[in-house]
């Protein structure tokens, strides 16, 4: 692989890392709000996540196009690193490690958010079921004042 191609590849991957870093910050903030039961903030996170995911997809397309144009499509990052000029392999490995680390962090915080949300949803469903069961046991207790004669 030529030095110019390696430099362009590094630039693409650095942009990828920056985007995933932004996604991690958003996911981490969302997790903090979930932990604080601040569910009103979740709508805003969803909008921001959707925009970031679209940017990630665009970046993926750009990276795939670059790899295809340079005869590297279908190769894993480690295989691409092997094809780098000798003086660039250490930098390639460093970028690979940074990229892997941030992707793993995003996945981990996302899993935590999903896990906590599922537990809270399950607890909420149980509380609703208990409340409905109580209402069924005392039907007069739920009658609203404007329904009374």
Report whether 30 contacts 42 (CB < 8 A).
yes
Rounded CA separation 81/88 (Å):
8
Rounded CA separation 2/71 (Å):
12
Predicted model pTM:
0.73
Question: What's the pLDDT tens digit per position in 62-78?
Answer: 999 999 999 888 888 88
Q: Which two tokens stand for residue 29?
A: 């903030």
Q: How confident is the model at residue 138 (pLDDT cuts 50, 70, 90)?
A: low
Report whether 66 contacts 9 (CB < 8 A).
yes
Question: What's the pLDDT tens digit per position in 83-119?
Answer: 888 888 899 999 999 999 999 999 999 888 888 878 8
Report which secondary-structure segment, H or E, holds 38: none
């Amino acid at each position: 692989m030529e030095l110019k191609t390696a430099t362009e590849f590094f630039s693409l991957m650095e942009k990828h890392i920056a985007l995933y870093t932004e996604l991690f910050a958003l996911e981490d903030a969302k997790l903090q709000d979930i932990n604080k039961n601040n569910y009103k903030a979740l709508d805003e996170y969803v909008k921001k996540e959707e925009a970031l995911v679209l940017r990630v997809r665009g970046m993926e397309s750009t990276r795939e196009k670059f790899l295809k144009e340079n005869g590297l499509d279908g190769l894993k990052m480690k295989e691409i690193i092997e094809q780098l000029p000798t003086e660039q392999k250490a930098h390639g490995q460093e970028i690979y490690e940074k990229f892997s680390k941030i992707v793993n962090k995003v996945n981990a915080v996302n899993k935590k958010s999903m896990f906590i949300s599922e537990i809270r949803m399950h607890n909420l469903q149980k509380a609703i079921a208990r409340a409905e069961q109580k209402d069924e046991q005392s039907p007069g207790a739920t009658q609203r004042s404007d329904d009374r004669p």
